[in-house]
Amino acid sequence: MSQPIMIVLFISAGLAALGGTRAIGGPSLRTAQSAPVKESWQKEFEDTCSKTQDAMTFSQEELTSLISRCDDLQPQIEKLDETRKKVYLRRLKMCRGLYAYVLDSKRNEKK
Amino acid sequence: MNRKACITLVLILLFCSSFLSQTGTKKKRPLPYEYGRVVINNYSEQGNLAPVVFEHWIHRAKFTCRVCHVDVGFAMKAGGTGIRAADNERGFYCGSCHDGKKVVEGKTVFEACSNPVNSADAKRCERCHSLGKKVPSDFDFFVFSKPLPKERFGNSIDWEKAEELGLIKPATVLEGASAGRNALPVQRDFALSPKVEGMPDIIFSHKKHTVWNGCELCHPDIFVGVKKGTTHYTMEDNVEGKFCGACHTTVAFPLTDCQRCHSKPVHA
C-alpha cells in the first residue's frame, strides 16, 4: 500500500476512535435532550423511579418488587461514565430508600 | 491581700471576661438577597477560578425543590454534590438548564461550562464563579421581590403565598431530567406537640411540603422515623441543620419565624 493511502487510513482511524470516545459521555446526552434515545437501563430507571409519589398506595409485594428492580439497576449504573454514575446512583439511592421506607412503615402498621 | 491588689485582680478578671466573651463566632443574619446563597468551591480554586455563588431565590422561583434536588440530583448540603465542569458540559447538574440552548421566559439560558474555554468566555464563567467579584446580573433581587407578598424573615418573601397568587410558577418537571410521573396525591396535614408547655402545637403541612419536595427528598434521608411520634426532634437538632433545619436554616423560612410552624391556636 502506498504511503499517502496509509496516512489517510491512519488519520481516519484516529478520528473515528476520537468520535467513539466522545459519544460515550456528554455529546450523546446533548442529543438526548433534543431527541431522547434512551438506553435500556435508563428506561428501566425511569419506569422504576417514576412511581415514588404513589409509594404509599403500593402493597408490600409491589414495594418489594420495586426495591428488587432498584437493586438490579445498581450494577448497570455503576458501569456508566463518572458523571452519569454520580447522578443516577444518588437518584437510585433516594428512590430505593423511599420504597424501603414505605415498606418498613407498612410492616410496622401490621404489628 | 491589700485593697490595691484586689482592685487590680478584679480589673484583670473583668478585662479577661470581656475579651473571652468576644471570642465566640457571631453568625451574621443574612440580608434578604443573601438568604439561601450557596458558595460552591469543590474544584473552582484548583482551576484558578473564583468559587461559585449560587442564588437560591432566582432558581426557586422557577423550579420546585424536587426538580433540582431529586431529578437533577443536587445534594442538600453545599459542596455535597461535587460538581465538576465536565458534568455541566455533559448536560448534568447546572448544565441541565445552563446549556446555552434552553429558553426560559424568552431568554436563552447561558451555558454553564464549556470545553475548550477561550478568553471570550471569561465573562460567562464569572456569572457563576463570582465570589468576591462585582458581577452584573440579569436579575435584580429588589425588582424581582417588589411585587411578591412579604415575610419577615429569610428572603422577606412569602414564597408559598406568591405561588398561591400565581406570581411565581415553579416548574415541577424538567425535560431531559425528570422521569415521567403522575401528579402527587394530596397528603394530610398533621399536628405535632412541642415539649415546651404553653408553646402552640406545630401544624405540619404535609401537603405543602410534598408539592415542592416530593417524598424522596425528605424520606428517609432527613426524616428517618417511620411511625409518627417515634423520632424526637429538638430545636437544637433543627438549628444544627437536622430534620426541619435541613431546609429551614438555609433556604426555606428560618427557624426564627416561630409562628409559621407553631401555629395551632392555644385555647385556655
CB contact under 8 A, A95 and B216: yes
* Same domain for A3 and A15: yes
Contact list, B91 vs chain A (CB under 8 Å): 26, 29-30, 32-33
Residue-level pLDDT at A38: 83
Residue-level pLDDT at A33: 45
Count of domains for chain A: 2
Residue-level pLDDT at A32: 39
Q: Is B143 exposed, middle or buried (0-12, 13-18, 19+ CB in 10 A)?
A: exposed
Q: Can you list the pairs that B38-42 forms with residues at least 24 positions away whose Cβ atoms lie under 8 Å?
A: B38/B78, B38/B250, B39/B78, B39/B131, B40/B78, B40/B79, B40/B83, B41/B79, B41/B131, B42/B79, B42/B81, B42/B82, B42/B83, B42/B84
Contact list, B219 vs chain A (CB under 8 Å): 97-98, 101-102
Grid coordinates belonging to B102: 434552553
Of B9-18, B104-113, B122-131, B178-187, give the lowest mean pLDDT range. B9-18
CB contact under 8 A, A29 and B92: yes
* Same domain for A55 and A3: no
* Same domain for A27 and A76: no
Q: Is the pLDDT of residue B186 over 50?
A: yes
* Same domain for A56 and A24: no
Task: State pTM to two decimals.
Answer: 0.81
Q: What percent of chain B is predicted at pLDDT more than 90?
A: 63
For A34, nearest residue in chain B (alpha carbons): B176
Q: Is A56 on the interface with B (CB under 8 A)?
A: yes
Q: Which of B82, B221, B226 sits opposite A108 (nearest CB)?
A: B226
The number of angstroms, rounded, from the C-alpha of B150 to the middle of its chain's C-alpha atoms is 18
Residue type, B129: H
pLDDT digits 0-9 by tens, B54-99? 999 999 999 999 999 999 999 999 999 999 999 999 999 999 999 9
Distance from CA of B138 to the nearest CA of A (A): 25
Q: How many contacts, defined by CB atoms under 8 Å, are there between A and B?
A: 92
For B97, nearest residue in chain A (alpha carbons): A33
* Same domain for A89 and A45: yes
Residue-level pLDDT at A8: 58
* B39 membership: H or E segment, kind and range: strand B38-40
Q: B3 vs B52, which has greater pLDDT?
A: B52
* Same domain for A43 and A32: no
Q: Is the pLDDT of residue A53 over 80?
A: yes
Domain B21-181: assigned CATH number: 3.90.10.10
Contact list, A98 vs chain B (CB under 8 Å): 215-216, 219-220
* Same domain for A90 and A57: yes
pLDDT digits 0-9 by tens, B194-221? 777 788 999 988 888 998 999 999 999 9
Q: Does domain B182-268 have CATH number 3.90.10.10?
A: yes
Q: A57 vs A8, which has greater pLDDT?
A: A57
pLDDT digits 0-9 by tens, A65-97? 999 999 999 999 999 999 999 999 999 999 999
**Domain boundaries, position A30:** 1-37
